[in-house]
Structure 1
Amino acid sequence: MLMNRVESALIDSPPRRLLQHYEAAVLVELGGRTPGAHTAELGCGPGYGTKLILDTFGAASVDAVDLDPKMLAKARRRLQRHGERVYLARGSATDLAAAFGPIDGGKDASYDAVFDFAIIHHIPNWREALAEVARVLTPGGRFFFDEVTATALARPTYKALFDHPTADRFSAGEFLAELPRHGLHIGENWRTRIGSDYLLGVATRTQKGR
């Protein structure tokens, strides 16, 4: 689901970039860095999260997908200096094979890490997105996520300013419970903030899958 104009402007603003820098630091604390890793990002937006994956997490490369061509254009400008370390594609987070086909990406067990900077709550079939994350992760690969829960989405400010799927929204507990159903082990590597409005964590792809 595409973001509306208000949210699109917000995610490319200095306050959002500052917050995302903080969130990246929390994710590093929970799951470590990814030096030399081949990674994927769900919903790159204007590319600031992609830049953090390279600069803060230390990844060797990022294949990033987004539905919005305007956001992809911004991301290409922001990430131009990284050259072939970044591949940006228009497509869905629930079908990475289709999005990354030209570079032979999105195959089973393609990535050492997958990053979700508050994108999955925009996807109506969010469970399919988690299944896709698990499919493309290598055994032992890590899923870094920063998510907005149904608790936050029900607040008046969110309802007034932003557009989100209205059915099958997840609580923090529901999101965490869904991870092991797709072979993603979370353990204690998660935390919530502002009550249960926001959920951050790092899950590991198990060796046997489910």
Structure 2
Amino acid sequence: MDLKRQFARPEGLGGSLVGRLMAVINKSQVEDVVRELAPAPGERVLEIGFGPGIGLATLARAAPDVRIDGVDPSAEMVAAARRRVRRHGARVRPQEGTAAELPWEDAVFDAVFATNSVQLWQPLAASLAEVRRVLRPGGRLVLGVLERAVTPDGGSAGPYFDAGLLPELREAGFTGIESRWQPSNLGGTELLVRAVRPAS
């Protein structure tokens, strides 16, 4: 089993096993991202690359009045996430899809978030344009990336991932961009990024 490929896009039995591992190792980072997101009652939120559904479930518990959608390219992870959020009913809706082709109309989400998936969005520029499109004016984007998060080429995001990501966010039309590196509970560091679709 190519472990790095499975972390990038889990498939089959190996993907299911990787999904279980992701659920354990990403828990504290997901909680950091959800806190940064700070959802308000009545909002509609999208998670991109939800993996085994830890982010969806964490947000659903933290914000019982928020509607949550999600996309992930892995059928195995969609199935795992649906099992994990079943208790929340129709308020949480995971489905298969990618950041580059989001199946929603313009300006439907108050916030979008992702944990350890933005480094996999391909192409990145088109994906960020899609995120901006589905965000309402004034809507926010929150991203979390571990320094050692797997990239499509089998490498890792690395300690300077923000140096490439932040200009891409600006080019996509996001403003109010804030970023910080902080220690990860797993060792190493994690990047937290917040950006806003301008209100006008």
Fold match by TM threshold 0.5: yes
Q: How does 1:98-117 map to 2 (within 5 A)?
A: 106-117=104-115
Q: Which amino acid aligns with 1:109?
A: A
Alignment deviations for residues 112-160 of structure 1 (CA, whole Å, 9 cap, x no partner) = 11111111112231222111110100000111111245xx46xxxxxxx
Match of 1:79, SS state, is helix
Tell me by how many angstroms 1:7 deviates.
Answer: 4.6
Tell me by how many angstroms 1:163 deviates.
Answer: 6.2
Counterpart of 2:197 in structure 1 is 205
Q: How does 1:52-91 map to 2 (within 5 A)?
A: 52-57=58-63, 60-91=66-97
Pair 118,57 (structure 1): closer, same or farther in 2 beyond 3 Å? farther
Q: How does the TM-score come out when normalised to structure 2?
A: 0.78
Unpaired runs of 5+ in structure 1?
A: 98-105, 154-161
Runs of 4 or more, structure 1, over 6 Å off, are: none
**What CA distance in whole angstroms lies between the structure 1 residues aligned with 2:50 and 2:190?**
19
Tell me by how many angstroms 1:90 deviates.
Answer: 1.0
**RMSD between aligned residues:** 2.7
Question: Residue 179 of structure 1: which of 169, 183, 193 is its match?
Answer: 169
Partners of 1:176 and 1:186 within 8 A in 2: no
Q: How does the TM-score come out when normalised to structure 1?
A: 0.75
Counterpart of 1:165 in structure 2 is 153
Alignment deviations for residues 36-95 of structure 1 (CA, whole Å, 9 cap, x no partner) = 101111012111101222222555211111111111111111111111101121111211
Match of 1:128, SS state, is helix
Pair 127,194 (structure 1): closer, same or farther in 2 beyond 3 Å? farther
Pair 147,18 (structure 1): closer, same or farther in 2 beyond 3 Å? closer
Q: How does 1:27-42 map to 2 (within 5 A)?
A: 27-28=36-37, 32-42=38-48
Pair 17,73 (structure 1): closer, same or farther in 2 beyond 3 Å? same
Match of 2:26, SS state, is helix
Partners of 1:122 and 1:165 within 8 A in 2: no
Unpaired runs of 5+ in structure 2?
A: 1-7
Percent of aligned positions that are identical: 28
Partners of 2:10 and 2:76 within 8 A in 1: no
Q: Which amino acid aligns with 1:180?
A: R
Pair 186,198 (structure 1): closer, same or farther in 2 beyond 3 Å? farther
